[in-house]
Amino acid sequence: MSYRIFYWLTFLIPTIIIGGFEFIRHDFLLPYMSMEVGNVYITLLTLLLSFLFATWMFHTLKQMNARIIEEQARRAVYEERERLARELHDGIAQSLFFLNVKLKQGHLDDARVAVSAIDNHVRQAIFNLRSLPEEGSLDQRLEKWLAQWSALSGIDVASELHVKDGFFTPTAEVQLFGIIQEAFANIRKHSQAKHSWIHLTTDEATGWVLAVEDDGIGIFNSSPDTKKYGLSMMRERARQLNASLDIQLRPAGGTIIRLSSHSGGKI
């Protein structure tokens, strides 16, 4: 059932009930029912039917919204899988080509570097794929993912997460998680950092703010591919979250990636 049907039913049903009852009362029931009794009956009848209609309508709307949210979350997960597949293809394909060239040239040291890069790409992709389905609140899943990322990358992570339960929809959580994964993947691959930080806060009135920092060489000194691919993915996710993305150099060295919502309230 569409929202248009609900729109018409909302004002047609009370009109039909009250108008129909008044028509029957005046034409057929006046000799048997006083005006006072009729007014009581129409009030009780309208109340009962309005309650039944509202209960049915909101139950149906709740089911429709649940299906929409589930579909949006499923689509977001599919998009995340597709992104990981592209990243795997691009990273491994380039490394395999480099490996093949170096093996033909007999440069074994360079070939070992390529093998190591392929291994890192595969580990990171598997790690990201495993992190999405876990249960628990967003901050709990992030804490666990960050601990695993730190163990995998050898880069220290300090986290400050203040996320209210239910603040983000499932779709928004997937997009936000993807931004964080992309930011930390860039730190691991390009920053040469030893320490990293993440701050995520939510507020019913002002919205939410995410900041990811590192003490590396700075994103403007990293490879052009990082700027072209990784940042474009984060900007697209930020757009879907109705948020702005800002990139700055840390005064003490490194990079700050900051996202903030354009409006307050939940998303």
pLDDT tens digit sequence for 46-68: 788 878 888 888 888 888 888 88
What's the alpha-carbon Rg for the chain, to the nearest Å?
29
List strands edge to edge, sheet with 243-249.
156-162, 195-203, 207-214, 255-261, 243-249
CATH 3.30.565.10 boundaries in the chain? 138-266
pLDDT at res. 137: 82
Strand 156-162 and strand 195-203: pairing? parallel
The angle formed by the CA atoms of residues 183, 184 and 190, to the nearest 5 degrees, is 90
pLDDT tens string, the chain, 267 residues long: the values are 667 777 777 768 777 877 787 788 777 777 777 777 877 887 887 788 878 888 888 888 888 888 887 777 777 777 667 766 666 666 676 677 778 888 888 888 878 877 876 776 676 666 656 555 456 788 888 998 899 899 888 999 999 999 988 898 887 888 898 899 889 988 988 888 999 999 999 988 889 999 999 999 987 665 554 444 567 778 888 988 999 999 999 988 999 999 998 765 566
- CB-hemisphere CA count at 13 Å for 7? 3
Query: First CA to last CA across the chain, in angstroms?
Result: 25
Say how many C-beta atoms besides its own lie within 10 A of residue 173's C-beta: 20
* Per-residue tokens: 24: 């029957």
**Residues sharing a CB contact under 8 Å with residue 243, sequence separation 6 or more, in sequence order:** 208, 259, 260, 261, 262
Tens digits of residue pLDDT in 113-148: 778 767 766 766 666 565 554 567 888 889 988 998
From the list 180, 171, 167, the residue with the least C-alpha distance to 137 is 167
At residue 225, φ and ψ (nearest 5 deg) are -60, -35
The Cα-based distances of 107 to 22, 99, 100, 113, 134 in angstroms read 95, 9, 10, 10, 43
Percent of the chain with pLDDT over 90: 18
The CATH number given to 138-266 is 3.30.565.10
Contact 265, 207 (CB under 8 A): yes
**Residues sharing a CB contact under 8 Å with residue 121, sequence separation 6 or more, in sequence order:** 87, 88, 91, 92, 95
Percent of the chain with pLDDT over 70: 81
pLDDT at res. 206: 86
What distance in Å separates the CA atoms of residue 132 and residue 180, rounded to the nearest whole number? 12
* Per-residue tokens: 103: 């093996």
